[in-house]
């Protein structure tokens, strides 16, 4: 039976920061050309990583604000078109080519973003100002996030649990005084959220015009030092001082032999249940403002989550704790209707995880790089795929397919027995073909695999803090020849839309 939320289709995974552009890190200015190329290639799905502000080491999976957009993605060219910057102001110094240079980009771009926000705030005649004023009054979460970030700046970047007690515990008089004293930076924060949403709304409209659906990504956890934990600490497993006694992670798996010590605060699921999971409803509703469907990260944590003592040397010291189960998804369905979610059901998956995914009615994930590590019963092998699933050659957490091939010689015989003759030159496209041929309703390929790139193009190495998220496409890499080849493949396997 066809899932109306997920028709048979093909997609490409690439985050905006990986796109070419003039300011050191890819941004929304490069998205229209990408969407046009996807449409030319017959590809109807674009998958992105989380669009929230990144946390430590530029990771978008530990955000300081679950509802905010990453304003560093705002295209300066769009602000020029809106009359908030002039062309001379955005003449960039030379940026290094290749990988993203986050520090140089922020040093150049953030002052310009603030300048544009200030002009929007203070120019009462600007045509966008009425929209901003309406946004300011309607989007209460943005005002609260702005206050959090303004206070953190005022406190020298200290985490909120180190703030003066009256602010840490959100005493009403202290908050009112802070709102009055910090009106300007709060308005600036909200103005930038307004501009981010405005640019993204145009992108989403252009994608719809081209017949391209956008799949987003929702991290299961937020950062400990976040507006979410500060505003509603009662929804997290925190002590009176705002400190977690146990934190998030995962046990040993195929990504990390010692497990992964994430360090995020854990949810107080009974408290969230008493509140009818309103925090999750608001989070998903906000995410669906930007995307058509959402890959929900670390789905197995909703069945049971790995809780690690905060002072443990590594994640192997953790233990399983019961998650919210189907009650969360029933609440989301009650408030939001049909759930356009994809369950990232990877890692240590047991019968309870499978049962929860099936009861929630969500497609799971099949990753071809995981298919050849053992025997014919491996659930990632194509003969075990089901229509209600999403197949990937690899994800942002995997090496590229070429990188995987070069570092997995022990799997070569099984791969060749299943796929026929392949080598380092042909393996990437062969896995792309295999994904497109799958009965899974959606096939998604990281753009690195379309280009046959090696591990120099890897996006993330789980368990390693530094050096991730910085890979970028070379200008002109997505050309007409590759689009034609991909379009032919999509037509061959009934994925052309």
Catalytic residues: 297, 344, 397
CA atoms within 13 A on the CB side of 344: 19
C-alpha gyration radius of the chain? 23
Q: How far apart (Å, rounded) are the C-alpha atoms in residues 197 and 205?
A: 12
Tokens of 356: 């929860």
Q: What is the DSSP letter of 244?
A: B
Take residue 267 and report the two structure tokens written for it: 């949810």
CB of 40 within 8 A of CB of 480? yes
Sign of CA dihedral 313, 315, 320, 322: positive
In contact, 105 and 187? CB cutoff 8 Å: no
CA distances from 288 to 208, 261, 342 (A): 14, 29, 13
Strand partners, 390: 365, 442
Distance in angstroms (rounded) separating the CA atoms of residues 117 and 193? 10
∠ CA 138-142-146, nearest 5°, is 135
Tokens 């994800």 label which residue?
Answer: 395
Query: Phi and psi for 136 in degrees, rounded to 5?
Result: -60, -40
Q: Which of 4, 8, 7, 6 is nearest to 436 (CA)?
A: 8
Residue with tokens 């009462």: 124
């Amino acid at each position: 039976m066809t899932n109306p939320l997920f028709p048979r289709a093909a997609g490409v995974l690439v985050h905006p920061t990986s796109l070419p552009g003039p300011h050191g890190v890819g941004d929304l200015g490069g998205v229209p050309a990408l969407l046009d190329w996807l449409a030319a290639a017959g590809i109807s799905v674009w998958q992105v990583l989380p669009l929230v502000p990144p946390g430590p080491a530029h990771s978008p999976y530990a955000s300081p604000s679950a509802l905010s957009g990453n304003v560093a993605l705002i295209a300066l060219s769009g602000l020029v078109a809106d009359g908030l910057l002039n062309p001379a102001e955005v003449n960039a110094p030379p940026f290094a080519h290749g990988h993203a240079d986050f520090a140089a980009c922020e040093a150049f771009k953030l002052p310009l973003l603030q300048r544009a926000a200030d002009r929007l705030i203070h120019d009462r005649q600007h045509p966008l100002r009425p929209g901003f004023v309406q946004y300011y009054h309607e989007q209460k979460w943005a005002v609260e996030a702005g206050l959090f970030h303004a206070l953190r700046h005022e406190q020298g970047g200290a985490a909120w649990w180190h703030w003066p007690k009256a602010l840490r515990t959100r005493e009403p008089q202290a908050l009112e005084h802070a709102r009055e004293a910090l009106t300007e930076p709060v308005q600036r924060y909200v103005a930038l959220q307004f501009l981010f949403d405005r640019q993204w709304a145009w992108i989403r409209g252009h994608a719809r015009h081209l017949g391209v659906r956008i799949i987003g990504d929702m991290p299961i956890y937020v950062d400990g030092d976040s507006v979410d934990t500060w505003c509603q600490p009662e929804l997290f497993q925190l002590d009176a001082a705002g400190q977690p006694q146990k934190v998030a992670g995962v046990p040993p798996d195929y990504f990390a032999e010692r497990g992964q010590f994430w360090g995020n605060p854990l949810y107080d699921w009974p408290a969230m249940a008493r509140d009818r999971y309103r925090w999750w409803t608001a989070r998903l509703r906000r995410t669906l403002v930007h995307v058509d469907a959402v890959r929900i990260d670390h789905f197995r944590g909703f069945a049971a989550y790995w809780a690690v003592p905060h002072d443990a040397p590594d994640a192997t010291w953790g233990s399983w704790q019961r998650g919210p189960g189907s009650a969360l998804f029933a609440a989301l369905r009650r408030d939001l209707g049909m759930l356009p979610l994809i369950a990232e059901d990877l890692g240590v998956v047991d019968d309870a995880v499978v049962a929860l995914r099936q009861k929630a009615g969500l497609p799971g994930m099949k990753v071809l790089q995981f298919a050849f590590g053992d025997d014919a019963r491996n659930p990632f092998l194509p003969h075990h795929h089901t229509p209600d699933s999403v197949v990937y050659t690899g994800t942002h957490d995997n090496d590229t397919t070429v990188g995987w091939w070069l570092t997995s010689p022990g799997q070569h015989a099984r791969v060749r027995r299943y796929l026929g003759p392949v080598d380092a030159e042909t393996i990437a496209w062969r896995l792309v073909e295999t994904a497109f041929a799958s009965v899974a309703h959606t096939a998604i390929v990281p753009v690195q695999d379309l280009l046959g790139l090696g591990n120099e193009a890897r996006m993330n190495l789980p368990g390693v803090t530094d050096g991730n998220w910085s890979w970028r496409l070379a200008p002109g890499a997505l050309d007409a020849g590759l689009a034609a080849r991909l379009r032919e493949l999509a037509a061959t396997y009934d994925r052309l839309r």
